[in-house]
């Protein structure tokens, strides 16, 4: 496999681009055909019950991010509304599952194991470089019926935190 093809596949770019094309067609054709969630998204719908800190606010306060609680709640709700609006489209579910998996992976492998040696700015830089920017880049311009902005991406992070998949401390 040529090197450049492998990189495109690993970045998720080709997956998201293809899914956006399919989603556009699903919306234009009125093809709403999913009742429930695909397995990859259902995993994140279920709240983990093993965490000592439960809920978004508790996690933010524990990480001394009280100043983010109000905005985080609003962004979490913004994403939840987008998810509810798009949940019946198979391609939208796959896009959300890819992005949520990215967020979960970055927290599990780049933030949580190193959190004791990272300051707030370093954590925020990891989030920006490994989650927000790649996600926005993968989305490109989106299209008329489906766009994702910084607030949506942060909302995904907070939504996952509320479900005990990510934490800052």
Whole-angstrom CA distances from 98 to 11, 44, 88 are 11, 11, 16
What does pTM read for this prediction? 0.86
Domain for residue 169, yes or no? no
Domain count, the chain: 1
- What tens digit of pLDDT does each residue of 116-141 get? 999 999 999 999 999 999 999 999 88
- What tens digit of pLDDT does each residue of 39-82 get? 787 778 777 666 677 889 999 999 999 999 999 999 999 999 99
Domain for residue 43, yes or no? yes
Domain for residue 168, yes or no? no
Domain for residue 167, yes or no? no
Helical ranges in 63-132 per DSSP H: 69-86, 90-106, 120-127
Contact 20/142 with Cβ under 8 angstroms?
yes
* 54: phi then psi, degrees, rounded to nearest 5: -115, 130
3-state SS assignment for residue 50: coil
Domain for residue 108, yes or no? yes
Which residues span the domain enclosing 75? 3-162
Question: Which residue, 167, 155, 150, is CA-closest to 65?
Answer: 167
Domain for residue 118, yes or no? yes
Instruction: Round to whole Å and give the CA distance between 70 and 117.
Output: 27
Look at residue 42 in the predicted model and tell me its pLDDT. Answer: 78
Burial (Cβ within 10 Å: 0-12, 13-18, ≥19) of residue 40: middle
Domain for residue 21, yes or no? yes
Contact 132/154 with Cβ under 8 angstroms?
yes
Instruction: Round to whole Å and give the CA distance between 73 and 65.
Output: 13
Domain for residue 72, yes or no? yes
- Is pLDDT above 50 for 1? no
């Amino acid at each position: 496999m040529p090197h450049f093809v492998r990189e495109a596949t690993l970045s998720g770019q080709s997956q998201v681009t293809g899914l956006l094309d399919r989603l556009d067609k699903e919306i234009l054709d009125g093809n709403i055909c999913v009742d429930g969630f695909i397995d990859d998204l259902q995993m994140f719908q279920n709240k983990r019950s093993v965490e000592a800190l439960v809920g978004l606010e508790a996690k933010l306060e524990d990480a001394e991010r009280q100043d983010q609680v109000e905005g985080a709640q609003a962004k979490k709700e913004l994403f939840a509304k987008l998810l509810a609006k798009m949940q019946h489209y198979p391609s939208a579910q796959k896009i959300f599952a890819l992005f949520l998996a990215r967020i979960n992976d970055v927290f599990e492998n780049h933030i949580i194991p190193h959190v004791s040696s990272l300051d707030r700015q370093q954590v925020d830089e990891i989030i920006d470089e490994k989650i927000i920017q790649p996600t926005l880049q993968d989305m490109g311009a989106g299209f008329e019926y489906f766009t994702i902005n910084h607030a949506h991406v942060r909302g995904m992070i907070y939504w996952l935190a509320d479900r005990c998949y990510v934490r800052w401390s």
